[in-house]
Chain A
Amino acid sequence: DQQVKQNSPSLSVQEGRISILNCDYTNSMFDYFLWYKKYPAEGPTFLISISSIKDKNEDGRFTVFLNKSAKHLSLHIVPSQPGDSAVYFCAASVIQGAQKLVFGQGTRLTINP
């Protein structure tokens, strides 16, 4: 039972354009969502997060949007840069308890010059 799903295994975007990565979840109890970025042979690094009481959070070139009714979140990267090429994981958590994260399968983003 995959509670967090990233249905696109890969995405290719031209440098300077917008990259949009999508994530869907099924558990309505999730109330905090995060995006992680992972380079080969390294651990995931935190990128941006959003609480369920918000529908948008922005940090520089990165914006996360949350649509609770659709149980959908997306990460927008504008403008895309070659260094953004990596695997992106979305993750979800429930506020109470041990703050366990449930991860999606990941999307490999490739930025082409």
Chain B
Amino acid sequence: NAGVTQTPKFRVLKTGQSMTLLCAQDMNHEYMYWYRQDPGMGLRLIHYSVGEGTTAKGEVPDGYNVSRLKKQNFLLGLESAAPSQTSVYFCAVGGGLYIQYFGAGTRLSVL
């Protein structure tokens, strides 16, 4: 997981609260991704970015927003958290050959 840092590592929210997850990389890669992992579902792509100032929707984007104002940072926002967003969130970066490098994850519980 070297080079990809996610903060925070754990968070508990109440329904309706908002929060931002931060992903920071020092690998100088162009592509960044946000995934969520749920039991029996594997990793599913929420949003991604192919470069500074760009974002695009993935497979499960509803309820999330993202921003990539700087190349090294990719933010994932939850404007009004719902229990269905309880999950483990992973950030990944990619720079070629389709290999993505993942952070350690953020475990989020929404009560």
Contact of A44 among B44, B48, B102 (CB under 8 A): B102
Choice from A6, A43, A100 contacting B102 with Cβ under 8 Å:
A43
B94, A104: Cβ atoms under 8 Å? Answer: no
**Chain B residues, Cβ within 8 Å of A46:** 99-101
Q: A43-B4, A103-B42 are in contact. Are A98 and B102 (CB under 8 A)?
A: no
**Interface contact B105-A42, CB-CB below 8 Å:** yes
Q: Determine whether B74 belongs to the interface, using a CB cutoff of 8 Å to chain A.
A: no
**Contact at B43–A98, with CB atoms within 8 Å?**
no
Closest to B6 in A: A43
Asked if A25 lies at the interface with its beta carbon under 8 angstroms from chain B, I say: no
Q: Are B99 and A44 in contact (CB under 8 A)?
A: no
CA distance A89 to B58 in the complex (A): 19
Chain A: which residue is nearest B49 at the CB level?
A98
Tally A residues with Cβ within 8 Å of B: 26
Chain B contacts for A36, CB-based, 8 A: 102
Contact A89 B104 (CB under 8 A): no
Give A34 to B43 CA distance when docked, in angstroms.
13
CA distance A6 to B58 in the complex (A): 21
A-B contact count (CB 8 A): 63
Q: How far is the CA of A103 from the CA of B4 in the complex (A)?
A: 20
Q: How far is the CA of A89 from the CA of B102 in the complex (A)?
A: 13
Residues of B within 8 A of A41 (CB): 104-105
Question: A45 and B45 in contact (CB under 8 A), knowing A34-B98, A100-B33?
Answer: no
Bound complex: CA A36 to CA B100 (Å) = 10
Closest to B50 in A: A98
The CB with the most chain A CB atoms within 10 A, among B41, B98, B99, B103, is that of B98
Q: A4-B42, A41-B105, A89-B43 are in contact. List 11 more A-B contacts (CB 8 A).
A: A6-B42, A34-B98, A41-B104, A43-B103, A44-B43, A49-B97, A98-B48, A100-B33, A101-B98, A103-B35, A105-B40
